[in-house]
Structure 1
């Protein structure tokens, strides 16, 4: 049993090493430079060993994407749990989303196909890709006083938020934005404006 556990542990360590090496290459040279051969060279494995764990580099991208969504989901949930009101939760979560994108620049690019050849259908089928939606739509529904979480209105408002935030992130990931201070102000203005627009008016 101890020997079997050791083999499983070594296999998992090898898998992690492959993913870590892939992300290191991307950080150093960009997604376009990633190849199975480069990964093998970096960790001093033979290419066939890499293929035992991942069929191709798209499979590695998919796994890194899955891990990226898990990490983003964890950070969004923490931001949500730190606040009591739906409006405060939404502001905190979208700011957290922004911070995640720039703290994990290469990972975010892979998750959303920015500068990569995204296998979008496979990414969309990842259960983890639903985490931002699952976490963020609840306070949208609460703020708008809508109980049906499958409501088209909630869906529309989620994508209104996401389109603005992701669009601003994408512009800046491509180094086409303004200063960080200006971008953060634009981000806050946009988030606050949407929150105000979906907050029921009390008489």
Structure 2
């Protein structure tokens, strides 16, 4: 291994460590607890080293969001592939989405609530974000209904799931009806 390759590997390892540490701290204490000073202390590198990888917290949030999007895409595809009927696939997609949001709230916030400097719905959208949407589209396209563009249907279904996830987490929806809400969403929106 050349010196250049070793340095690149070490740099990639440090970046993964920074992102993993930020994610862990955010999941434990919220994004307000994630500062460059605390991250530098936890990873045992100086703040200048941290800044040599990321320009600040915003870029770190963006990196966590991209990692989360890749994880969400994998979870959505796994859930959908395990089902044999369109209705079961749509329900499984919805449940996998809601489970991800509940299991990883700080990552979910990085993806959809916080400014990580990422763009959505245009050419500049990073591939992991496009792939997470594609994972939803793959499972929902067949149930969009006649005359409805599958991508538009997916946007509406996604927005509905996001609303359920956000309102549930904020304690604005009674927890006892979570399963019925998803059933109602599938029943009313998906043409299965």
TM-score by length of 2: 0.86
| Equivalence for 2:9 | 9
- Does the CA contact (< 8 Å) of 1:87 and 1:139 recur in 2? no
Q: What secondary structure, in the 3-state scheme, does the structure 1 residue paired with 2:67 have? A: helix
Does residue 75 (structure 1) correspond to residue 75 (structure 2)? The answer is yes
Tell me the alpha carbon deviations over residues 132-160 of structure 1, each in whole angstroms, 9 at most, x when there is no partner: 331222343323576xxxx8632332122
In 1, the alpha carbon distance for the partners of 2:54 and 2:153 equals: 38
| Equivalence for 2:55 | 55
In 2, the alpha carbon distance for the partners of 1:119 and 1:42 equals: 21
1:4 Cα offset (Å):
4.4
Q: What secondary structure, in the 3-state scheme, does the structure 2 residue paired with 1:23 have? A: helix
In 2, the alpha carbon distance for the partners of 1:138 and 1:43 equals: 39
Structure 1: runs of 5+ lacking an equivalent = none
| Equivalence for 1:183 | 178
CA distance 1:55–1:141, change in 2 (3 Å): same
The within-5 A match list for 1:26-175 is 26-113=26-113, 116=114, 118-119=115-116, 122-124=118-120, 125-144=125-144, 153-175=149-171
In 1, the alpha carbon distance for the partners of 2:17 and 2:189 equals: 42
TM-score by length of 1: 0.82
Q: What secondary structure, in the 3-state scheme, does the structure 2 residue paired with 1:176 have? A: coil
- Does the CA contact (< 8 Å) of 2:70 and 2:132 recur in 1? no
- Does the CA contact (< 8 Å) of 2:21 and 2:42 recur in 1? yes
Q: What secondary structure, in the 3-state scheme, does the structure 1 residue paired with 2:174 have? A: coil
1:32 Cα offset (Å):
2.4
In 2, the alpha carbon distance for the partners of 1:88 and 1:66 equals: 28
Give the RMSD, CA atoms, in angstroms. Answer: 2.2
1:112 Cα offset (Å):
0.5
Structure 2: runs of 5+ lacking an equivalent = none
CA distance 1:87–1:8, change in 2 (3 Å): same
